[in-house]
Chains A and B, each alone.
Chain A
Amino acid sequence: MKYLKFLLVGIFFGIVLVKSEAVSWYRIYEMFRFESFHMYGIIGSAVVTGILLLWLTKKLKLKNTEGTLMRVPLKEKGFTRFILGGSIFGLGWALSGACPGPLFILLGTGVSSILITIIAAIFGTFIYGLLKDKLPH
């Protein structure tokens, strides 16, 4: 049952994202129009809490369940891939109203047509893998 904890974290994550309305297409549209604080509040308070938790982790030298020091994997350095890839994802985020987490969560809320978007997203990732060496990073 070593996977049970991941299942529970996933369930918790799914509940929070639905209850916060962060999975709502309308909330994403409203966010990109800067007409509500709601989404900024969610992301902002998540980041502030995250900073605090990670700072405490470092301060107290907390260990993970594997027995090594807890740490966040570092993103590689660069600019092009982040700005271009980020913009491409942003186009899709605004159009679909969902990022990868909510894509799956929305399936659970009973929106079966989002399966089309999920399959397309897997295929989009596949295309990235195919073209990776030809893209500027």
Chain B
Amino acid sequence: MEYVLQPWPWYVSGPLIAIVMFLLIYFGKTFGMSSNLETLCALGGAGKKIKHFNFNWKDKKWNLVVVIGAIIGGYIAQFMLSNPINIDLNPKTVEHLQVLGFDNVGKSLLPPEIYDWGHALTFKGISILIIGGLLIGFGTRYAGGCTSGHAITGLSSFQLPSLIAVIGFFIGGLIMIYLLFPLIF
């Protein structure tokens, strides 16, 4: 149990994620989390006006159930399977973040400077949350997948489009961290 309560090393976590992909393919489906965002659009009636969402969302209900499970899994891991422990980040990373004004680096999963309601409800705070979401939602659908669909499933099945998408993930991520973070924070 002691090992379960500790953070899990990469060589345990990575193969377990591959098993999630394998199980979903075994169930006749596929591993793709961003598809749920368009299923939710269809569920909300977006298909009446826009062709892209004109599909029967019920065919994708299984994936929404995976999402509900993931939320429950997040709860279980956080509140039943974790000892409070700081994230073991590279001290250099911590230093960079302190320069940017982050004071509680690694003490929780997410920086309170972004996700605490006190910050989230300022103009800057809510802009960060909204713009981040818009980029994720727009980008993943444009690219036809996210980390699960492209980086894990696509690369595991040697698909060139997925490699191009993953290169894109890094182009965007590096621009954000190196060019935009110093302007934002």
Interface residues on B, range: 35 or more
Contact partners of B177 in chain A: CB under 8 A:
29, 32-33, 94
Contact partners of B26 in chain A: CB under 8 A:
62, 64-65, 70
Partner among B117, B135, B144, B153 whose Cβ is within 8 Å of the Cβ of A76: B144
Interface membership of A19, Cβ < 8 A: yes
Interface string of A24-48 (1 = CB under 8 A from B): 1111111111011111111111111
**Contacts A18-B73, A26-B97, A36-B93 given: A118-B27 contact, CB under 8 Å?**
no
Interface membership of B82, Cβ < 8 A: yes
Nearest CB in chain A to that of B25: its residue = A70
- The answer to whether A36 touches B65 (Cβ under 8 A) is no
- The answer to whether B133 touches A120 (Cβ under 8 A) is yes
Nearest chain A CB to B79's CB is how many angstroms away? 8
Nearest CB in chain A to that of B49: its residue = A130
Partner among B36, B53, B169 whose Cβ is within 8 Å of the Cβ of A93: B169
DSSP majority for the B interface?
helix
- The answer to whether B25 touches A25 (Cβ under 8 A) is no
Q: Which of A8, A57, A95, A112 has the most CB of B within 10 A?
A: A95
Contact partners of A8 in chain B: CB under 8 A:
69
CA A26 – CA B102 in complex, angstroms? 10
- The answer to whether B25 touches A109 (Cβ under 8 A) is no
**Contacts A49-B19, A89-B143 given: A109-B78 contact, CB under 8 Å?**
yes
- The answer to whether A23 touches B170 (Cβ under 8 A) is no
**Contacts A91-B172, A100-B136, A128-B141 given: A36-B90 contact, CB under 8 Å?**
yes
CA A14 – CA B19 in complex, angstroms? 13
- The answer to whether A108 touches B164 (Cβ under 8 A) is no
- The answer to whether B70 touches A72 (Cβ under 8 A) is no
CA A55 – CA B129 in complex, angstroms? 40
- The answer to whether A5 touches B27 (Cβ under 8 A) is yes
Contact partners of A64 in chain B: CB under 8 A:
25-28
Interface string of B90-128 (1 = CB under 8 A from A): 101100110000000110011100111100100000101
- The answer to whether B159 touches A74 (Cβ under 8 A) is yes
- The answer to whether A85 touches B114 (Cβ under 8 A) is no
For the A-B complex with A14-B71, A32-B173, A107-B71 known, give 20 more contacts whose Cβ atoms are closer than 8 Å.
A9-B27, A10-B72, A18-B74, A21-B109, A25-B114, A26-B111, A29-B97, A32-B174, A32-B176, A76-B161, A82-B143, A82-B164, A92-B135, A94-B173, A95-B135, A100-B136, A106-B109, A111-B110, A114-B129, A122-B40
A-B contact pairs, 6 of them (CB 8 A): A14-B76, A15-B76, A28-B173, A45-B15, A53-B21, A100-B147
Binding site for B on A (CB under 8 A): 3, 5-33, 35-51, 53-54, 57, 62, 64-66, 68, 70-79, 81-101, 103-114, 116-130, 132, 135
What are the nearest 9 A-B pairs in CB distance?
Answer: A10-B69, A86-B168, A14-B73, A90-B172, A124-B137, A120-B133, A108-B74, A92-B135, A50-B156
